[in-house]
């Protein structure tokens, strides 16, 4: 049994029942939420991102006054904030899947997930504050 991947189950000193050993090894049943959240945020981003892109072309983003005038309209400001929140959420979820697939070290994996969440949340918050400043100043 030396080469069996299940050798923990055949340990002579471990007197726990088979059930006690099996509990906790399977799915924790929390992945469904991640899967759904990724799909829902994706569907929300389909119209939102297309609308944003068309606005960016029309408002011409290299012209200061035109860009500010667009952000000061109600759909412009609200839509931009919605897009920042949704895309940050979708980015966090998507990058987490890639880390979980390819980063083998548990410590690095968890650190990367947390760092990504922190970066996206900071980015979204900074973006929202700038939009609010532009609207109310």
Give me the residues that bind other proteins (CB under 8 A), please: 24-25, 39, 42-43, 45-46, 49-50, 53, 57-58, 60-64, 67-68, 71, 80, 84, 87-88, 91, 94-95, 98, 100-102, 104, 106, 119-120, 123-124, 126-127, 129-131, 133-134
CA atoms within 13 A on the CB side of 83: 19
Q: Minimum CB separation from other proteins for residue 126, in Å?
A: 6
- DSSP letter for each residue of 90-112: HHHHHHHHHHHHH---HHHHHHH
Give the nearer residue to other proteins in terms of CB position, either 10 or 126.
Answer: 126
Residue 92: count of CB within 10 angstroms of its CB: 20
The least CB distance from residue 17 to other proteins, in Å, is 19
Residue closer to other proteins by CB (options 10, 69) is 69
If the CB atoms of residues 10 and 39 are measured against other proteins, the closer one turns out to be 39
Q: Which is nearer to other proteins, 1 or 25 (CB)?
A: 25
Please report, for residues 4, 24, 35, 56, the alpha-carbon distance to residue 64 in angstroms, rounded to integers and kept in the order given. Answer: 66, 56, 40, 12
End-to-end CA distance of the chain: 73
Min dist CB 94 to other proteins, Å, is 5
Least distance CB 16 / other proteins (angstroms): 16
Q: Residue written as tokens 């904030």?
A: 81
The two structure tokens encoding residue 8: 């923990």
């Amino acid at each position: 049994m030396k080469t069996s991947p299940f050798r923990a189950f055949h340990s002579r000193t471990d007197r726990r029942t088979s059930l006690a050993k099996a509990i906790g090894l399977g799915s924790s049943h929390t992945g469904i939420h991640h899967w759904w959240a990724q799909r829902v945020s994706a569907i929300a981003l389909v119209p939102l991102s297309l609308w944003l892109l068309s606005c960016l072309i029309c408002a011409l983003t290299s012209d200061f006054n035109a860009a500010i005038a667009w952000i000061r309209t109600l759909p412009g400001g609200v839509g931009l904030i919605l897009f920042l929140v949704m895309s940050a959420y979708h980015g966090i979820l998507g990058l987490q899947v890639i880390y979980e697939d390819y980063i083998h070290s548990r410590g690095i994996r968890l650190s990367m997930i947390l760092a990504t969440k922190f970066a996206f949340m900071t980015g979204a918050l900074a973006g929202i504050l700038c939009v609010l400043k532009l609207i109310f100043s």
